Amino acid sequence: MTRTARVVNKFSALDERAWSLLDHQDNPFLSYAFLNALETAACVQPETGWQPHHLCLFEEEQLVACAPSYLKSHSHGEFVFDWSWADAYHRHGRAYYPKLLTAVPYSPVPGPRLLVQRGHKESEALQAELIDLALTECDSLQLSSWHCNFTPELTLNIDQSKILLPRNDWQFHWFNQGFSSFADFLSCLRSKKRKNIRRDRRMVEQAGIRFERKSGDQLSPVDLDFIMDCYQATFLDHGNHPALNRSFFEQLAVQLKQGLLTVMALKGNEPLAMSLYLVGGGRLYGRYWGCMKQFPGLHFETAYHQGIEFCIDHGLDVFEPGAQGEHKISRGFTPVRTYSYHHVRDEAFRTAIARYLEQEQGWMEDYRHQLAARTPFRMDDGSE
């Protein structure tokens, strides 16, 4: 069967049914609704530094593999930081941008990036061809580099392994050990950590704050306005540009329905704060948090404790609250390794970056050992 490679510059040009046949492991960030909404809401477009450049393989016009990809004119919204690489290029009079990125925009969520049709008898070959297509695009467009972020470990052939640089980092995920209740979960923690969480929850309760959960199909226009206000407030408070807009959130609510969850914190009938989550593949993904009024313990309760409780109530296996944040460890989150792969066309720069990544890997392992010493969980024998 004839197989052809093609770059698609508009996600909506891909057939939605064909996309549904790709193995994205029910990851909501790889759903047609999520990736398409980013473009139709104009959050992802050349003017924002994200030019769609999706790498696709077709068999007689049937989509059989795709790597959602973008030509980037900056490194914002990626969460795998290469600012120092760009700076080194610029200091040597070289152009680092544009570069090619395979990732989900604005979303530091691990998941498959080289998507192939479920059950395809040549799935590994298709993934290898997607990698080769990315490298070919780098050469033909004279791009500095290709980056594949938050992917599972890739199976590489000999040639690919020589020129793709692996990079690791850590995130903090919560794992459901079959807990019957939030109290059951707390019983697994050391007494000090248990008391701290109970104290935070008690402060929120004593402030008269209650919580409401709403799925996407339950959100009113007023709810969406509040979500947008909270989202913008959080980004502006940290001096960052809010890249998403109300149209994007509205599209997600309409299309994902039960796959979108918001937790609203209210005092009386006044909304104070919200956390927005996505649900899929047995996992809860925490994405955005924001508040209009600050209260002690409100952030931890809305962004973390409510998410843990939702996972227990609905039998979800994992809660991924987002990138970074080692403070999550004391709340019962565990370090999990993340992977990215990088191709740097210039051999001299690739050699220098490879040396740096080798050093960085040692630092990451040291960091992991430091984190292990801070586990909030009791020992197997129940001791503190």
Grade residue 383 by pLDDT with cuts at 50, 70 and 90: low
Grade residue 372 by pLDDT with cuts at 50, 70 and 90: confident
In angstroms, the CA 346 to CA 93 distance is 13
Mean pLDDT computed over every residue of the chain: 95
Residue 146 near residue 342, CB atoms below 8 Å: yes
Amino acid at the residue 341: Y
Per residue in 316-369, pLDDT (tens digit) is 999 999 887 888 999 999 999 999 999 999 999 999 999 999 999 999 999 999
Closest CA to 253 of 227, 272, 290: 227
Residue 116 near residue 22, CB atoms below 8 Å: yes
Name the segment(s) of the chain with CATH classification 3.40.630.30.
Answer: 3-170+337-371, 177-316
Closest CA to 318 of 355, 354, 278, 351: 278
Closest CA to 241 of 106, 331, 109: 106
Give the pLDDT mean for 251-259: 97
Indicate whether 384 pLDDT > 70. no
Per residue in 50-65, pLDDT (tens digit) is 999 999 999 999 999 9
May I ask the CATH architecture of the domain 3-170+337-371? 3-Layer(aba) Sandwich (3.40)
Grade residue 100 by pLDDT with cuts at 50, 70 and 90: very high
Residue 5 near residue 57, CB atoms below 8 Å: yes
* pTM, to two decimals: 0.95
Per residue in 115-144, pLDDT (tens digit) is 999 999 999 999 999 999 999 999 999 999
Closest CA to 349 of 74, 136, 145: 145
Half-sphere exposure of 193 (CA within 13 A, CB side): 20
Strand order in the sheet with 54-59: 3-8, 54-59, 62-67, 115-116
Q: What is the CATH number of domain 177-316?
A: 3.40.630.30
Q: E strands of the chain, at which residues?
A: 3-8, 50-52, 54-59, 62-67, 69-72, 99-102, 115-116, 145-151, 164-175, 209-215, 260-267, 270-280, 283-291, 318-320, 334-344
